[in-house]
Amino acid sequence: MAGVSKKELLDFLDLFDQELDRNIVLIAVGGTAMTLLGLKASTKDIDFNIPSNSDFKEFNRVNDRIKPGVKIDSWPSNIIFSEILPEGYVKLTTEYRTGLKKIDVRILSPIDIICSKISRFNEADMEDIRDCIKYASITKGHLAKRANQYSRVGSDDVFKQNLKYILENMF
């Protein structure tokens, strides 16, 4: 599957916006967030965190109805991938102005993009982490402190080992 460019992502959101029955908040995460930030030319799939359970249900209702033809992953509440986002993560997101009427698009903060990629930590994640560190001028101390606020469904040992590698080798 070819990647989804920023324009294609915004076109997709426009189609979604037209089908929604009410306003919702979507937080772009992973490659979707990085594409909106201009750090990647495209994303292989579309990933959103949806903080409100009612927004999550509305989003999935429309997704099931329009069958957009691209892989879309969405997570409710404060979950993305296998990570549980710390309290207050929504306050650290930034608004992405789209002109959409019913969708408030937000972008996960670069530090949270990094923390959400630590457990998996494949080659693409390493590149994304480097790009976020540079883009947001993230320091070792800031990353270590924020990472310690995370919990996960997966292995804490793997997370800690990967975080140690990042702190020792990417700054």
Which tens digit of pLDDT belongs to each residue from 87-118?
999 999 999 999 999 999 999 999 999 999 99
Dihedrals phi, psi of 126, to nearest 5 degrees: -60, -45
Q: For the CA atoms of the chain, what is the radius of gyration?
A: 16
- Structure-block tokens of residue 127: 């590149």
Q: Measured between alpha carbons, how far is 143 from 140 in angstroms, rounded to an integer?
A: 5
CA distance 78 to 88: 10
- Strands across the sheet with 79-80, in order? 79-80, 83-84, 151-152
Nearest to 86 by CA among 150, 144, 155: 150
* Adjacent-strand bridge partners of 5: 42
Could you tell me the pLDDT band of residue 2, with boundaries at 50, 70 and 90? Answer: low
Mean pLDDT of 61-81: 89
Q: What is the arithmetic mean of pLDDT over 125-144?
A: 96
Give residue 138's identity as a one-letter amino acid code.
Answer: I
pLDDT greater than 60 at residue 35: yes
* Secondary element (H or E) of residue 49: strand 46-50
Q: How confident is the model at residue 74 (pLDDT cuts 50, 70, 90)?
A: very high
How many C-beta atoms lie closer than 10 Å to residue 60's C-beta?
Answer: 14
Which residues, in sequence order, are CB contacts of 109 under 8 Å at separation 6+? 89, 92, 93, 94, 136
pLDDT at 68 exceeding the cut of 80: no
